[in-house]
Amino acid sequence: MATTTDSVRTTRPHREQTVSTRTLARLTGLLYLLVFVTAGFSEGYVRATLIVPGDATATAANIAAAESLFRLGIVSDLIAFSADAVVAVLLYVLLRPAGRTLALVAAALRLVAHPAIASLNLLTHVVALELLSGATYLTVFEPAQRDALVLLSLTAHGYGYLIGGLFFGLHLLVLGTLLYRSDRFPAILGVLVVLAGGGYLTESLVLFLVPAYEPVASAVVVVTAVVGELTLALYLVVKGIRTERSATVEEI
């Protein structure tokens, strides 16, 4: 009788700790979509609305007039990068059977690109806000000088984004390879993600080496990222994975 009781006690925790791999995949997809929405809001709306390329006075005036929106963009980015850290770990769990070392490399590159580089890169936004704060110690700068420093900080943010994009592009190349090799996902997802990685690498390298081609490079990364990453995120939410299997806490 005692043996039977002990058996129940030992098996019960295992059952409680078992989680569906498909559930993990759908959670990953939902978080990936959250990253799309929040990062897209910050980059595609907030910065696109407030920053006027080459016009320091107009940019400073826009931020001063819409400081709450600018701050909301910072918070939105922080949400995106926090969610992306979780996505990096969950993708590692889902794709580890396709190659443990490659999955670890992919996770490391993603963690470096967004939670690390991109989060620290937001300090340039904090500097811009501080320059416009009216603090006494900043009165040594003339208004035109202050505005120029604001635009300089935001320009530095753009280049920091490209540095992070280089690591993220490498991540997508490895991720796409894992997706292609995995029996849990259609091979076409891997191809699309690899193309997205190529788009990020193209944008970063072109803007550092031949900035005159910035419009072309930016268009390439937008198209490839939307097609590759958004397709992956939607597949994870809708389908989850091809092959259902349980994953225990030890596997996670």
> Quick check: 99 pLDDT over 70?
yes
Domain residue spans in the chain?
20-247
In this predicted structure, which of 139-153, 188-202, 206-220, 234-248 has the lowest mean pLDDT?
A: 234-248
Mean pLDDT of the chain: 89
| Token couple for 236 | 């994870």
pLDDT value of position 140: 94
pLDDT digits (tens, 9 = 90+) for 25-48: 999 999 999 999 999 999 999 999
Q: Residue 242: pLDDT band by 50, 70, 90 thresholds?
A: confident
> Quick check: 5 pLDDT over 70?
no
> Quick check: 177 pLDDT over 90?
yes
Q: What's the pTM value of the predicted model, to 2 decimals? A: 0.85
d(CA 236, CA 184): 11
Sort residue 175 into left (φ over 0), alpha (ψ -120 to 50) or beta: alpha
**What phi, psi does 186 have (nearest 5°)?**
-65, 140
Spell out the residues 6+ positions from residue 110 whose beta carbon is closer than 8 angstroms to its own.
84, 87, 88, 91, 167, 168, 171, 175
Q: How far is CA 20 from CA 1, 25, 232, 234, in A?
A: 32, 9, 19, 18
pLDDT digits (tens, 9 = 90+) for 100-122: 999 999 999 999 998 899 999 99
